[in-house]
């Protein structure tokens, strides 16, 4: 908290300096029709970002209306970490999406600015550029990252701020005026909008790429001398080889793998994986996908999340009900709980103690600290 305040003070001072020295000031303080600040003295010459698709990954699914640039990503990163997006300047996106936790937060459910607990577990942000037909949140409510980024700002159990206020704060900040002008083709501070802010955040989020776990090195790129140990290798066969090596099929791959090289650990789909025993489709505490589509058959279905960095993102499931991977495996080991729309692959899962331990050993090979420690992803303040 203290260092936060110090930082804010520091930036206030720096901003004051920029204003005096080289930023055109808003001289018009009179009411009615704010003319904004001319930005054409600031260079606008963005560098397009060469998207670093890792070897063996599918083609990235990049937004046609929002080409990535170095300047856009830099702005998005600053916004992502800036408490200016919250009602009382106390929280940012990164308060819940923390790099060391793979951009999740290790709480069952997070607390927003008013210290009110949310209903759902914070999701990791990782390899979002590669998920086919990107659908976001546990319930699939959003279809693009820019669209998704609007909500946390306004949500009363998250940042609880209005975009009108955020726009005003950004327009009044000389660093943001410079960053927005550098990233986007605008000429006046009044053109700094929610639309551009969320596009910048989208650009930053798309750069969050993990491709350097032990699994990537041993089983995707097959680097010389890098091998999975016996437990993890058997866990991998259980998880994803569909019984090809003679190991039993733990069925995980149906929902948590995608593509020839199985690099994503999600197929982007929505399923009921048997968390709750219910007699009727109206009995789920959280309807999940059903609340979004209005289709009763979708009640109790949630997004199959990626399992990359899963060892770093406890607790688990949409409500954070399981504290450990052991608890997750106990859930799946006997085929979960019955409900009318449980996916057919879940009840047939049958794992003994050794199977569970081996799958957990495999899941640990998905930990990628190159990702969590990537300097380009950290707090720029
Ligand atoms: C108070 C904690 C909190 C804050 C602050 C927060 N988030 Fe989240 N985030 C969550 C939770 C919880 C979910 C899951 C929401 C749901 O499914 O209803 C989520 C989901 C997401 C997802 C979907 C990921 C996926 O794979 O589907 C994205 C993207 C995201 N947040 C980005 C952001 C951005 C950008 C900001 C800042 C503008 C932000 N979040 C602020 C808690 C938070
Ligand atoms: C029918 C699809 C399906 C199958 C098969 C399946 N899962 Fe899942 N998995 C899901 C869904 C959907 C969720 C999220 C459910 C929720 O939170 O409501 C999930 C959640 C998880 C989570 C928690 C993720 C997080 O971020 O909280 C782990 C770990 C996991 N599954 C591992 C496995 C393993 C290991 C297997 C094989 C033994 C497996 N799953 C089989 C669909 C599936």
CB-ligand 1 contact for 148 (6 Å cutoff): yes
The finding on whether 358 has its CB within 6 A of some atom of ligand 2 is no
Residue 19 has a pLDDT of 42
Q: What is the mean pLDDT of residues 317-341?
A: 97
**Tokens 């639309």, located at residue:** 195
Residue 260 pLDDT exceeds 90: no
Between CA 141 and CA 41 the distance in angstroms is: 41
Among 8-22, 103-117, 162-176, where is mean pLDDT lowest?
A: 8-22
Percentage of residues of the chain with pLDDT beyond 90:
83
35 C-alpha vs ligand 2 centroid, how far in Å? 53
Q: Is the CB of 139 under 6 A from ligand 2?
A: no
Summarize the confidence of residues 257-286 as an average pLDDT: 91
Mutate to test the pocket of ligand 2, among 105, 304, 352, 365 (most ligand atoms within 8 A of CB): 304
Q: Can you tell me the mean pLDDT for 62-80?
A: 97
146 within 8 A of 42, measured Cβ to Cβ: no
Q: What is the mean pLDDT of the chain?
A: 91
Do 182 and 71 contact (CB within 8 A), yes or no?
yes
Report pLDDT for 132: 76
The pLDDT value given to residue 67: 98
Q: What is the distance in A from the centroid of ligand 1 to the CA of 160?
A: 13
> Which of 235, 258, 252 lies closest to 59, judged by CA?
258
Q: Residue 102: its pLDDT value, please?
A: 98
Residues 290-316 have a mean pLDDT of 97
Contact 377, 99 (CB under 8 A): yes
- Atom 6 of ligand 2 has which residue's CA nearest to it? 252
pLDDT of the residue at 243: 80
Angle at 258 between CA 362 and CA 321, to 5 degrees: 55
Q: What is the pLDDT of residue 262?
A: 84
pLDDT of residue 26: 43
pLDDT band at 133 (very low <50, low <70, confident <90, very high): confident
**Centre of ligand 1 from the C-alpha of residue 176, in Å:** 23
Nearest-atom number in ligand 2 for the CA of 300 is 18
Residue 33: per-residue pLDDT: 78
pLDDT at 47 over 50: yes
Give the number of C-alpha atoms closer than 13 A to the C-alpha of residue 5, restricted to the C-beta side.
2
Q: Taking a C-beta distance cutoff of 8 angstroms, is the pair 160, 87 a contact?
A: yes
Pocket test for ligand 2, best of 274, 317, 322 (most atoms within 8 A of CB): 317
Q: Cα–Cα distance between 124 and 136 in angstroms, integer?
A: 11
- Nearest ligand to the CA atom of 120: 1
* 77, 164, 141, 300: CA torsion to nearest 10: 100
Relative to the CA of 254, which ligand 2 atom is closest? 5
Ligand nearest to the CA of 348: 2
Distance between start and end Cα atoms, the chain: 14
What is the reported pLDDT for 87?
Answer: 95
Ligand 1 in reach of 200 Cβ (< 6 A): no
Q: Is the CB of 289 under 6 A from ligand 2?
A: no
Q: What is the mean pLDDT of residues 331-358?
A: 97
pLDDT at 8 over 80: no
What is the number of other CB atoms lying within 10 angstroms of the CB of residue 67?
A: 13
Contact, 268 vs 258, CB < 8 A?
Answer: yes
204: Cβ–Cβ under 8 A, 6 or more apart, which residues?
A: 73, 75, 76, 77, 79, 80
| Mean predicted confidence (pLDDT) in 99-122 | 94
Nearest ligand to the C-alpha of residue 327? Answer: 2
pLDDT digits (tens, 9 = 90+) for 86-95: 999 999 999 9
Q: What's the pLDDT at 114? A: 87
pLDDT band at 18 (very low <50, low <70, confident <90, very high): very low
Span 194-216, pLDDT tens digits: 999 999 999 999 999 999 999 99
Q: What is the pLDDT of residue 11?
A: 47
Residue closest to 299 by CA, chosen among 314, 311, 284, 309 = 284
pLDDT at 31 over 80: no
| pLDDT band (50, 70, 90) for residue 32 | low
Q: Is pLDDT of 119 > 60?
A: yes
Q: Is the pLDDT of residue 34 over 90?
A: no
């Amino acid at each position: 908290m203290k260092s936060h305040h110090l930082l804010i003070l520091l930036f206030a001072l720096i901003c004051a300096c920029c204003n005096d020295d080289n930023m055109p000031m808003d001289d018009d303080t009179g009411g009615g029709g704010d003319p904004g600040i001319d930005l054409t003295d600031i260079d606008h010459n963005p560098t397009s970002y060469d998207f670093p698709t890792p070897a063996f990954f599918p083609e990235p699914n990049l937004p046609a209306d929002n080409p990535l640039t170095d300047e856009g990503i830099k702005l998005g990163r600053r916004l992502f970490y800036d408490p200016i997006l919250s009602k009382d300047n106390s929280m940012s996106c990164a308060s819940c999406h923390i790099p060391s936790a793979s951009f999740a937060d290790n709480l069952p459910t997070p607390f927003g600015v008013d210290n009110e607990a949310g209903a759902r577990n914070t999701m990791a942000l990782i390899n979002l550029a590669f998920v086919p037909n990107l659908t976001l949140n546990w319930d699939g409510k959003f279809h693009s990252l820019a669209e998704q980024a609007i909500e946390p700002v306004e949500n009363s159990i998250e940042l609880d701020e209005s975009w009108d206020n955020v726009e005003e704060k950004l327009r009044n900040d000389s660093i943001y005026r410079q960053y927005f002008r550098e990233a986007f083709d605008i000429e006046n501070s009044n053109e700094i909008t929610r639309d551009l802010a969320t596009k910048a955040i989208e650009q930053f989020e798309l750069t969050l790429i993990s491709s350097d776990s032990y699994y990537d090195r041993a089983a995707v790129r097959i680097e010389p001398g890098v091998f999975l140990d016996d437990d993890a290798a058997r866990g991998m066969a259980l998880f994803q080889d569909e019984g090809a090596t003679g190991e039993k099929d733990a069925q995980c791959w149906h929902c948590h793998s995608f593509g020839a090289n199985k690099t994503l650990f999600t197929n982007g789909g929505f399923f009921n994986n048997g968390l709750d025993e219910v007699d009727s489709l109206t009995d789920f505490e959280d309807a999940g996908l059903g609340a979004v589509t209005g289709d009763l058959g979708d009640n109790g279905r949630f997004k199959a999340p990626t399992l990359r960095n899963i060892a770093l993102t406890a607790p688990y499931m949409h409500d954070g009900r399981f504290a450990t991977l052991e608890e997750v495996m106990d859930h799946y080991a006997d085929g979960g709980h019955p409900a009318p729309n449980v996916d057919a692959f879940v009840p047939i899962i049958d794992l003994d103690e050794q199977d569970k331990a081996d799958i957990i050993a495999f899941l640990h090979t998905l930990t990628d600290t190159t990702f969590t420690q990537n300097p380009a992803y950290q707090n720029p303040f």
